[in-house]
Amino acid sequence: MRHMLFRVLGLAALLAVSATTAAAHTLNVTISADCSCKYSVTVSGNTDAFAVVGVDYSFNVTENGNTIPVTGHIDTTADQNGNFSATQSNLSLPTSCTASVSFSGGSATLTFNGNVESGFGVTLPSTLSCGTPPTGKSLEIGPSSMEGHLQIRPGDWISGGYSFKFVNGGHGDETVTVSSTLTIPFKCPQGGGSGGSFVINLGTHTYFVPANNTDWQPTGDANNVLSWAGSGQAPDGCSGNIMDNSKGAIFDTNISQSPDNGQLLNWRFKYRDPNAKGKGNVNCLDTSDPRRAKADVCGASWSETVRDP
């Protein structure tokens, strides 16, 4: 009986140790975001000493009634005490951030030395109030499908750009400020959702145009890096499946001139997903990547030319 009691107590102790070891694995994931449409993710926690750690996270972002899933992955390594931490910054949200932006449904998975633990929560940002009405004139071009029928994969780099020029040369020195976005509609032909759209924020840029100049700004060369205004990575809109884009893209911009003398401008835009063209996952604004200078990688056709109102 005494030996049986010791065996039971020994088994109970072993189970208690195992439970304590499993419970010791912790993961904290915090997302922060602002109205520049950028977000940061910080992960921290504790696992096995010197473990190779991977964190997969997901959350939803909603703007104007359109909800888009966001996913990401961070790799790091635990120290001798099993502690780990890592941060990724300047990541792009798949929205325009021109209205109220809310966050929901965060979850995360911890992988360490090949073991997987799921069910961790994510601390999400409070709702952003990004609804300050822009000043200046608004213009929309598209949908335009200069790139043809695209099969977009989650994580694909998509770059967008534009050029403009004064209709006539009867103007003085002008400063033109441009805030713009690129909207990509998609369907989910392989399941994983009905589809929707996501937004690549092209940012706000200011250009100085000398008096009487009617050249394309900031460049008329479609292969020049200056012809690209912004880029971002495609979200996982179809639960890991390809996002089917057959309608092209929509370019929205807000334009202000200083001084504003009512001068009219002509506009055109372009976009590119090199990975969907079989050219590798290339960010066309990344000048450290020699592939971006190749015309078959980041070359893109201009849309039709539209005059601003």
For the chain, the domains span 27-129, 137-303
Residues 49-69 have pLDDT tens digits of 999 999 999 999 998 888 888
DSSP sequence for 54-122: EEEEEEEEEETTEEEEEEEEEEEE--TTSEEEEEEEEEEPSS--SSEEEEEEEEEEEEETTEEEEEEE-
Report domain 27-129's class: mainly beta
Which of 92-106, 234-248, 260-274 has the largest mean confidence?
Answer: 260-274
What's the per-residue H, E or C state across 179-236?
A: EEEEEEEEECCCCCCCCEEEEEEEEEEEEEECCCCCCCECCCCCCCHHHCCEEEECCC
Maximal C-alpha separation, the chain: 105
Q: How far is CA 158 from the centre of its chain?
A: 9
Q: Which pLDDT does position 47 carry in this prediction? A: 92
Least confidently predicted of 78-92, 96-110, 191-205 = 191-205
Percent over 90 (pLDDT), the chain:
52
Residues 149-197 have pLDDT tens digits of 999 999 899 999 999 999 998 899 999 999 999 999 999 887 666 778 8
Percent over 70 (pLDDT), the chain:
90
Q: What is the mean pLDDT of residues 109-121?
A: 90
Answer whether residue 77 shows pLDDT above 50: yes
- Return d(Cα 75, Cα 84) in angstroms, integer: 10
Answer whether residue 15 shows pLDDT above 60: no
Q: Which pLDDT does position 13 carry in this prediction? A: 44
Terminal C-alpha separation, the chain: 94
Q: Which pLDDT does position 223 carry in this prediction? A: 87
Confidence (pTM): 0.68
User: Length of the chain, please?
Assistant: 309
